Amino acid sequence: MTAGNLAIEVKGLTKSFDGRKVVDAVDISVRRGEICGFLGPNGSGKTTTIRMLCGLLEPDAGEGTCLGFDIRRETRRIKLRVGYMTQKFGLYDDLSIEENLDFVARVYRMDDRAKVVRGALDRLGLAERRRQLAGSLSGGWKQRLALAACLLHSPDLLLLDEPTAGVDPKARRDFWQQIHALAGEGLTVLVSTHYMDEAERCHRLAYISYGHLLASGTADAVIAHAGLATWEVRGNRLEQLQAMLADEPGWMVVPFGTTVHVSTATGKDLPQWLAAHQPDDADWKVQPVKTSLEDVFISLTRDARDNFN
């Protein structure tokens, strides 16, 4: 990737609060026009990283560019070209949809505000609700309004911090259709999420845990690099199997509905282990399955070192 093809290129990004490194020497590169999924457990440093990228926080260490602008010296220019959608709804509950968008247009000192707001209302399907108070909207409609506000000034980069948390499946699906349409028009998107189905919709992924970047690349590349072998086990007394494997190093056991997934990166063979350890009264049937992103991310989180202390 050349510098001209990159919307985000940062190296060694570091930030501490109260002596604890929340983000520790993170490198991130995002191509222009791609959707990059930013994943990790709560408290992993995703939001802090996003805020450093858009100029809201100054890094303690590290350097790089966002949309070609230096993340330390040109933060104002970055803010003017970025749309940032926060985890918490950030508009005014006691203003209507239209009034909220007009307020944002005023903040950006946009010419012909009425035309810009009408265009945003039409594009996001908000026109019929334009006079509805934002505080009365459901989670999905608030999400749509927040996205409309982010797009008002025609940014080159969208930074979306867990934008679909708390919305229903249809609203999530509609949201992602809109995001892919925007990316198809050349917009770059960095989106943090906890949902594996959303991660699979991204062109590339970056996984952070306890402040450290643990994996990056396409979904297939991240899975391949993890080097996990995974089996699905069905049958009775699966809780006993989980307890038995929990006492042995190298195994990762995760319940999946009426089955369990067992993964290992140590070269062990689960059918062979079962042949030697399965109790007579247990009826366990095992078959190899494709390792999923969820298997990989659970493994990464389990093995990551907590930076709280």
Domain CATH code at residue 248: 3.30.70
Write down the pTM of the prediction. 0.88
Same domain, 146 and 43: yes
pLDDT, tens only, 187-221: 999 999 888 889 999 999 999 988 999 999 999 99
Same domain, 20 and 63: yes
How many domains does the chain divide into? Answer: 2
Higher pLDDT pick, 167 / 6? 6
pLDDT at 80: 92
Same domain, 174 and 285: no
User: If pLDDT is split at 50, 70 and 90, which confidence band does 307 have?
Assistant: low
Same domain, 55 and 173: yes
Assess if residue 300 is contained within a domain: no
| Structural domain boundaries, residue 49 | 3-223
pLDDT, tens only, 112-150: 999 999 999 999 999 999 999 999 999 889 999 999 999
Same domain, 236 and 212: no
Query: Is residue 104 scored above 90 in pLDDT?
Result: yes
Same domain, 36 and 145: yes
Is 115 in contact with 121 (CB distance < 8 Å)?
no
